[in-house]
Amino acid sequence: MTWSPEPDLGVWLLASLLGGLAGVDASSWPQAMVSRPLVAGTVGGALMGDPASGLLVGALLELLALRHHPFGAARYPDTGPAGIVAGAASAAAGGGVAALAASAAIGWLLGWIGARTVHLQRGLAGHLLADREGLAADPRGLERRQLLSVGLDVLRSSALTAAFLVPAVLAARLVPPAPAPGAAWLAAGGLVLAAGAGAGAGVGALAGVRRRWWLLAGGIAIGLAALTVTP
C-alpha cells in the first residue's frame, strides 16, 4: 500500500472500511460523530496524503450540512462516506480551488445518494423487527436482529464508499491543477458565497435565538478581526 495520491487497491480497501465505520457512526453505532464531514473529509484527505485539503472540503460540506438536523424521521445527507470520498478526491486532485469545488459537489451529491440508501436500510430494519410478539418471546433473536441491522449499515456505507471512491477521484482530477483565471475566479466566488449562504441557512435553522442579527453581526466582526491579526 502506498500513501501517495493514487487510489491503489490498499487505499481503496482501507477507504471502504473507514467509509463503513463513518457511515455506521451517523446513526447506528456509536454516534461519536466521526461521520461528520469535518472528520471524514480529513481522513479521506489523509488517505491521499493531504489531510488539510480533506478538512477544507469537509468544512465546506459541514456548513452546507449544519441546517439538516436528524430530528425524528427527517432525511439528511449521509456525510460519512461522502466526506471520505470528497476528502480523498480533493487531495488526489491537488487540493486547489478547482479541485475543492469539484470534490465538494461530488461529496454533496453522494451525501444525498447515501441518504436514499439509509432510507432503504431503515425499511429493511422495519421488516427485521416487524414480529413484535415473536421477538418478545425470543430475546436472543431480538439481539441478533439488532446486531444484524447494525452490520447491514456497515455494509451499506462500505459499499457506497467503495463504489464512488475511484469515480470521484477520476472526476476531480478532470479539473486542471491551475485553472484559467476566469474559471478560478468563478469557482472561488461560488465557494465563498456557498460558505456564507450555508452558514446563514444554518443560523436560520437554529430555533429560539433572540437578537439573532446582532449575534451574527458580532460573529462576523470577530471573524474579520481574527483575519487581520492572523498571519
Partner 1 sequence: MNPHRRDFVRALLRTFAAQGSWNYRSYTAGGLTYALLPLLRRIHAGDPVRLREALERHMRPFNAHPYLIPLAVGALARVERDREEGERIVRFRTALSSSLGALGDRLVWQAWRPFCLLMAVLGFNLGLGPWAAVVLFLIPYNAGHVALRIWGMRRGWSEGLRVGAVMSGEPVRRLARWLTAVDVVLMGAVAVTLAGRLAGAALPAWTGPAGGAAAALGGAAWPGIAGASAAALVVLAAVAAWIHP
Contacts with partner 1 in 74-103 (CB under 8 A)? 96-102
Report if residue 17 touches partner 1, rule: CB under 8 A: no
Site residues (CB under 8 A) for partner 1, limited to 29-68: 29-34, 36, 38-39, 42, 45-46, 51-52, 54-56, 59-60, 62-64, 66-67
How many residues form the binding site for partner 1 (CB under 8 A)?
A: 115
Least distance from C-beta 9 to partner 1, angstroms?
25
Binding range to partner 1, per CB under 8 A, among 2-10, 12-20, 24-32, 158-166? 24-32
Cell numbers 480523498 correspond to what residue? 88
Please count the other Cβ atoms lying within 10 Å of the Cβ belonging to residue 28. 20
- By CB under 8 A, the residues from 127 to 146 that bind partner 1 are 128-130, 132-133, 135-137, 139, 142-143, 145-146
Cβ 227 to partner 1 shortest distance, Å = 5
Residues between 180 and 219 with contacts to partner 1, criterion CB under 8 A:
180-213, 215-219
Residue 115 binding partner 1, by CB under 8 A: no
Is 150 a binding residue for partner 1 by CB under 8 A? The answer is yes
